Chains A and B, each alone.
Chain A
Amino acid sequence: MSDNSLVLGGAWMLIALPLLGAAVLLLGGRRTDGWGHWLAVALPAGSFVWAVLALVELLGRGAHERSVDVPVYTWFASGGLEVGANLLLDPLSISFALLITGVGTLIHVYSVGYMAHDERRRRFFAYLNLFVAAMLVLVLADNFVLLFLGWEGVGLASYLLIGFWQHKPSAAVAAKKAFLVNRVGDLGLLIAVMVMFTTFGTVAYSGVFAELDGAGQGVLTAVGLLLLLGACGKSAQLPLQSWLLDAMEGPTPVSALIHAATMVTAGVYLIVRAGPIFEAAPAAQTAVAVVGAATLLAGAVIGCAKDDIKKALAGSTMSQIGYMTLAAGLGPAGYAVAIAHLITHGFFKAGLFLGAGSVMHGMNDEVDMRRYGALRRYMPVTFATFGLGYLAIIGFPLLSGWWTKEGIIEAAFASGGASGQVYGWAALVGAGLTAFYMTRVMIMTFFGEKRWDEGAHPHESPVSMTAPMVVLAVGSVALGAVLVYGYRFAAFLEPAVGAPEEHHEFHFAAMLTSWPSLAALGLMVAGAAVAWFMYGRVPVPRTAPEGNVITVAARNELYGNQINEGLLMRPGQAVTKALVAIDTHVVDGAVRGVATGIRDTSGELRRAQTGFARTYALTMLFGAAVVVATLAVRI
């Protein structure tokens, strides 16, 4: 064992606590109905405290001693192969651990109010705890196999929670869809791990990264692209984006925690964690940036047309993760800004989702924004917190989103060349679109006329729900400055993700007045103004107008489902049918043949067991003859 302190050496407790919660709630059955949800809140909170202590201890060390390998468990070691589970605590993983446990705990608290009347509440909290544990495994793993275990674990939790209201067919279908689309990405990751193991003989991060020089460009590019495929699946990036909008069928806290703040950012984590591979494979790195840029625009366009408040926010999530992916595709210069945006986004997007959940809570679970309107007076806390989250996401100067998004735009332009211009402009256009669709959400929900259904009596949510929203709103306002001002966070991450080639000094004034910054500001104002002209100045119809080609395409999620269906599903079904036929007739035939053969042989051989000692003795004599013969050949 190592000489790590109690806090660092016991890092497995971070995972064990929520896992314990899941186990107690799932195995304890109805006995835990009364208090189970409070246990489920307390355990991630305990993990959060543990993570804070670990952060304090890491900060107390020198910048280059902050990467701590925590041996947890060796299953068995045999020659060069050691199978076990080790954790890696470094600035990158601890940042994620804090986000997951911090935002996770808030959302657990929120869920106590949100799910108060659900009869399967215990199970819901069990799954949430399971998710937190799996997500922590994902980010704390020190090798790709353990990461994959966590990756599958969050996929499972996501599946269970999207389909939590399984009595709704749409929820069950959405869960299945999320699971299936994610399988495609998971397969990519799995193959990548296998290729790494055969090429490098190890799956540990440190081992793989140390051996990169020995591998050919083709292998590295393949590994990079496969990892990107895995990231696309988990993070809903093109072309595996289609499941995220449907995933909004899950309870809103799930959308906030899993499908906005944490799980969907796992792809970005993977790319940043595997940074050295992408740096050694420029083609794959370019693919990352291109995917990110394309998704950030596609997500924003979809967000512009959706009338379902959660789906509009889901499009926004796609788009914001696109920003992160784009930044992660820029190399070391982008890693820190990608992660910084990921963290601030975790706060303001979780806050927005919780706000949306609060609105739905007050409006009989209505999700269509055309049935909202004028809610600011009825739900002041929700309005205020949602409004702050709104300002943060559109990049209102000095709020969290501004600090981190500016970083991405600047890094995109700074990457140079024509590609840098393309990335930069994509990010700028995306910023304008963000301002448009978020202003649209804001106006349709909180301003204008009442367009409520009959029987709607909007009211403010209970304190257990509003308190987490307030905390998240504080983060939406202040966290960006805390992280970005003075390159604090970038410097903290540097030992883990590598330093950019040219080191920028932090110039606050330049950040305010550089031309991309001003352009972003202008586009933001323009986007918000257009939204106001379209939705604020004129009354919003209760049924959606027909709309032009682009609107219709955006409403249909840019035909992603239709493309999948025509390109993949139908040919896939045909292939499946063919394979089933082959399986039934050829494979099963062979298997049954072998089984029948063995059984018949077995029946024949049984007869040798006659029960007569004389037969047995004869068999032994024969055996002795065989044995003697094997040795006698050497005489």
Chain B
Amino acid sequence: MITDTPPSIDYWLLAPMLTVFGAGVLAVLVEAFAPKARRRPLQLALTAAALVAAFVLTVLQVGSVPAEGTTLAMGAVAVDRPALFFHGTILVLAAIALLLIAERRGGEDAFAAQAAAVPGSEEERAHTLAGSEHTEVYPLVLFAVLGMLLFTAANDFLTLFIALEVMSLPLYLLCGLARRRRLFSQEAAVKYFLLGAFSSAFFLFGIALVYGFSGTVGYAGVAEAVQAGGGGAFAGGGGGPLLLLGIALVGVGLLFKVGAVPFHNWKPDVYQGAPTPITALMASGTLVAAFGALLRVFFTAFGDTAEAWRPMIWVVAILTMVLAAVVAVTQRDIKRLLAYSSVVHAGFVLTAVVAADAAGLAGAMFYLAAYGFTTIGAFAVVTLVRTHEGGPEAGELTRWAGLGRTSPALAGALSLFLLAFAGIPLTSGFIGKFAVFEAAVAAGAVPLVVVGVLSSAVTAFFYVRIIVLMYFAEPAADGTVHTARAGALTGTAIGIGVAATLVLGVYPTPVLDHLVPQPGGEAVATAGAFTR
């Protein structure tokens, strides 16, 4: 859109994203100019300050955003209650992940000394001995977080695509930075990148088709065109196939990001290969962002043609809940198991998408926030269980036998997280599941919920199996593990996870009443939750 007058931009409402962006740029400069010894503390302080400031700004904005929301920058970005909720959640989750990223034990953090060195080479050894550090991690995280924020607030398809790439590219790099098992980590990064590029292609093609149908890329314009039966070249009608194909391909791109079956294959490999703190960030922040974008696109731009896309979400949700739960049963590595668990949970959230109303939105929002805190805590526990002192993480579940006796606090925290994943009452997982299933039932998707409940039962099996393993199994004779003492940073991360899991489970009312839209059965647009 080319105009003579410059667009007016409300910088106050953009301030959180601008803060993170500015800090990211600044961090690049720090990386270039600050002396090596000062880099890490500077980067850490800058990143933490940016996340905290952005969160504070987000909270302060609550008062200045009208109830029905508003759009900025000529409709490119929407700021409304759900966007603020997602922003706040992502920022908090990123801050917790930052605790894990910053944790060092024995002077080593989780990242490769020199990522460019060939694994196993002399050069790598030299860098390890010299104590090199990749403080580039911090600006990369900031850019990824910026992408997540923009992803949930984007209000036209081009902005959405840019946000997707801003979020994804740093993550591809971060995945390849693991200090140990570097080939494995690099393999994960390359896979993630290739498949991400593949899905982006679908996504872009879908955007093109939608543009073809409606003559615009703005969600509001698309929604109008959907109502009118066509826009632009197809204003007279006849563009139906374009729209349907467009929805399908845009859907593929978004479902890839949330990791729904059959677009999930990357998740186990990437989650396992990436440095665990980055996995924690992806499993919480990225999932929230991806669903934030998916909800906004399907509820606003495609909101009026929900009958058309509902079967698609039905099929994907059922595949996701059933297949991922079944495959998870035979997993032997904790990180892979949590990856499949993340896939199943994406399926549960999809049941709320089917509802396509305010209740569904509220359920999904609550679910995502609750799940984010729990999963980040679970990955924090994973970072502590090592094969031996100073050794790599002990991923194989058989080695976790008897952990309940050797490290009762750690095993207790993990048990709580697992029970929350399983949806046991008085944990946040129960309320979340209740909310999404209730929304789905109210929208008439009873069979979907039946599948969801059965799948929950299967997931409970492998969650509880870990608890049984930790508490009731004798430690294997050779497979003793060393549990590192939780440092202040990791300890805080686990503590926040435990607290959030319990509080949202025991006393969820404040969040349900004030932070997520009030379910009333109306479409989201009339409920004033999302802005068009």
Contact = CB atoms under 8 A, between A and B. Distances in A.
Contact of B244 (A595, A613, A635): A635
Contacts of A616: 191, 195, 265-266
A620 B262 contact: yes
Contact of B329 (A76, A599, A632, A633): A599
A77 B509 contact: yes
Contacts of B269: 609, 611
A76 B431 contact: yes
Interface in B87-104: none
A631 B308 contact: yes
A76 B198 CA distance: 43
Contacts of B461: 595
Interface in A215-244: none
Main secondary structure on chain B at its contact with chain A? Answer: helix
Interface string A64-104: 00000000011111110000000000000000000000000
Contact of B316 (A599, A609, A627, A634): A627
A631 B330 contact: no
Interface string A597-609: 0110111011011
A562 interface: no
B248 A627 contact: yes
Contact of B265 (A77, A595, A609, A630): A609
Nearest to B462: A602
B315 A620 contact: no
A567 interface: no
Given A609-B327, A613-B194, A631-B247, A619 B262 contact: yes
Contacts of B194: 613, 617
Contacts of A611: 269
A599 to B, nearest CB: 6
Interface string B369-390: 0000000000000000000000
A2 to B, nearest CB: 16
A623 interface: yes
A17 B293 CA distance: 49
B311 A630 contact: yes
Given A606-B327, A617-B194, A631-B309, A623 B245 contact: no
A358 to B, nearest CB: 44
Interface in B253-286: 255-256, 261-263, 265-266, 268-269
Nearest to B242: A635
B434 A598 contact: no
A613 B251 contact: no
Given A616-B265, A620-B199, A632-B245, A602 B330 contact: yes
Interface residues of A, number: 36
B23 interface: no
B265 A620 contact: yes
Contacts of A620: 195, 198-199, 252, 256, 262-263, 265
A619 B245 contact: no
Contacts of A606: 327, 330
Given A623-B262, A635-B244, A617 B327 contact: no
Contacts of B191: 613, 616
A605 B268 CA distance: 14
A429 to B, nearest CB: 51
B464 interface: no
Given A76-B509, A77-B509, A79-B438, A631 B326 contact: no
A14 to B, nearest CB: 21
Contact of B195 (A78, A599, A613, A631): A613
B244 A631 contact: yes
Main secondary structure on chain A at its contact with chain B? Answer: helix
Contacts of A626: 262, 315
A622 interface: yes
B41 interface: no
A6 interface: no
B260 to A, nearest CB: 9
Contacts of A76: 431, 434, 508-509, 512
Interface string B424-450: 000000010011001000100000000
B234 interface: no
Contacts of A584: none
Residue of B247, B311, B438, B519 most packed against chain A (CB within 10 A): B311
A89 to B, nearest CB: 23
Nearest to B244: A631
Residue of B245, B315, B316, B330 most packed against chain A (CB within 10 A): B330
B241 interface: yes
A623 B328 CA distance: 20
Interface string A173-192: 00000000000000000000
A573 interface: no
Contacts of A631: 244-245, 247-248, 308-309, 311-312
A603 to B, nearest CB: 5
Contacts of A77: 509, 512
B506 interface: yes
B435 A78 contact: yes
A624 interface: yes
Contact of B245 (A73, A595, A603, A628): A628
A79 B507 CA distance: 17
Interface string B292-319: 0000000000000000110110111000
A76 B426 CA distance: 11
A505 B126 CA distance: 103
A-B pairs with lowest CB-CB distance, top 7: A623-B262, A616-B265, A602-B330, A631-B244, A630-B312, A602-B329, A628-B248
14 contacts: A76-B431, A598-B329, A602-B326, A616-B195, A619-B262, A623-B255, A624-B249, A624-B252, A626-B262, A626-B315, A627-B248, A627-B252, A628-B245, A631-B245
Interface of B: 190-191, 194-195, 198-199, 202, 240-241, 244-245, 247-249, 251-252, 255-256, 261-263, 265-266, 268-269, 308-309, 311-312, 314-316, 323, 326-330, 431, 434-435, 438, 442, 458, 461, 506-509, 512, 519
